[in-house]
Amino acid sequence: MILHLYKRNEELNMHAENLVLLANAFGSKAERRLAKMNLERRNRLGCADSTMNSLACRLINPYWQKIKH
């Protein structure tokens, strides 16, 4: 289920949403909060903060390995 949603989000360029998806499924409380803050900022301002987005990606994207198999 997570893999299907992740792939759909990627097709729609919903990358911040995927960070939240992965963080909620596998991340720590701090990672979940960071991913949520990144998404909220992007929604509020229309663009992601590059520093926050880079940190979120570096911490959370490794969880992709857990769903791709």
- Distances in Å between the alpha carbon of 20 and those of 4, 9, 49? 15, 11, 15
pLDDT band of 49, cuts 50, 70, 90: confident
Mean pLDDT of 16-35: 95
Mean pLDDT of 43-66: 90
pTM of the model as a whole: 0.89
For the chain, strand residue ranges (E) read: none
The fraction of the chain above a pLDDT of 70, given in percent, is: 99
Query: For residues 69 and 61, what is the distance between their CA atoms, to the nearest angstrom?
Result: 15
pLDDT band of 23, cuts 50, 70, 90: very high
